[in-house]
Amino acid sequence: MPRGSSAASSLIPPEEVSASGGASRHTECSLDVEYKPLRDFLRFVPTETCSDYILDMVEVFEDRQQGSSRHLQLLIDEASKVTHSKLQFKEPPGGSPAYLFALVAYTLELDGVPQEHQFYVVLNKLLQERAAASLRAAEGYLHFLLSGIQALQSQPEKDFFRGVPAHSLHIFADMYKEGVVVHWSGVTSVSESEQVAKRLTGPGGVLLRVTARSANEAECLLFPNFEAVVTRSIGKRPDGCYEVKVVQKVEQKYVF
């Protein structure tokens, strides 16, 4: 029987995102075209808390970005406060506070912490590199994060936006041709607001228009290996930005 698959969902409520924070996540996401295999973290059986699994990543974080691991305990403390506050007003995704905590931890922008040390920046480096040992160290946290994304209620397709500065223009000109299938290897952040995304493009930057299924939130997280088809290649807009349009590729899967 046919079974559809969806690779998009969301959670970046406005109160968790600074003006620079939500937008800066756009530029840290991959622009990969080629597919990179990734193990199924949803099947992982956790034996520790989500915060314990974050601390398990100290060594791999330090290997990728020296000094980044010292902020992990602060991240846990701040994400715990936000999660406790949210649980007073809403049910967590999938009924699991740990899923909500994992989502908050990923979307949180720590004040005073350098951009290259932010949790989501280093985590996406691990996902994009696909080093087996590093992913083993991160699998506990990724289980909670991806389970949380999956648990958020999916809505019909709509357009989201992602802003990319001009220094990546050549990638779109060379690789994002109409009909090409792209695979974004990391967790990808997009926004329902075109204005939020445009803050990141700058002069001559690229505005990605992404049609995807998502939860009913203004900001959206897309699963690693989000697959989309380029339906309109790069073109210049009247406002000086460039625009590329991609549409989530959802195939019917058959089990016999």
In terms of domains, do 58 and 82 share one? yes
Per the domain annotation, does 126 fall within a domain? yes
Same domain, 117 and 167: no
Structural domain tally of the chain? 2
Closest CA to 221 of 167, 168, 165, 142: 142
* pLDDT tier, 20 (very low <50, low <70, confident <90, very high otherwise): very low
Same domain, yes or no, for 186 and 141?
no
Q: Per the domain annotation, does 223 fall within a domain?
A: yes
Q: 50 is in which domain, residue-wise?
A: 38-151
Q: Are residues 189 and 125 in the same domain?
A: no
Q: Which of 109, 129, 151 is the last residue of a domain?
A: 151
Tell me, yes or no, whether 147 and 47 share the same domain.
yes
pLDDT digits (tens, 9 = 90+) for 62-91: 999 999 999 999 999 999 999 999 999 989
Residue 6 domain-assigned?
no
Residue owning tokens 């009247």 = 238
- Compute the distance between CA of residue 25 and CA of residue 231 in angstroms, rounded to an integer: 24
* CATH number of residue 186's parent domain: 3.90.176.10
Q: Indicate the average pLDDT of the chain.
A: 82
* 107 and 44 fall within a common domain: yes
pTM of the entire structure?
Answer: 0.71
User: 131-173 pLDDT, tens per residue?
Assistant: 889 999 999 999 999 999 888 866 667 899 999 989 889 999 9
Letter string b/e over residues 150-182, b meaning 16 or more CB atoms within 10 A of that residue's CB: bbbeeeeeeebbbbbeeeeeebbeeebeeeeeb
What count of other Cβ atoms lies within 10 Å of the Cβ of residue 47?
Answer: 8
Which pLDDT score, from 0 to 100, does residue 158 have? Answer: 84
The reply to whether 85 falls in a domain is: yes
CB 128 within 8 A of CB 38: no
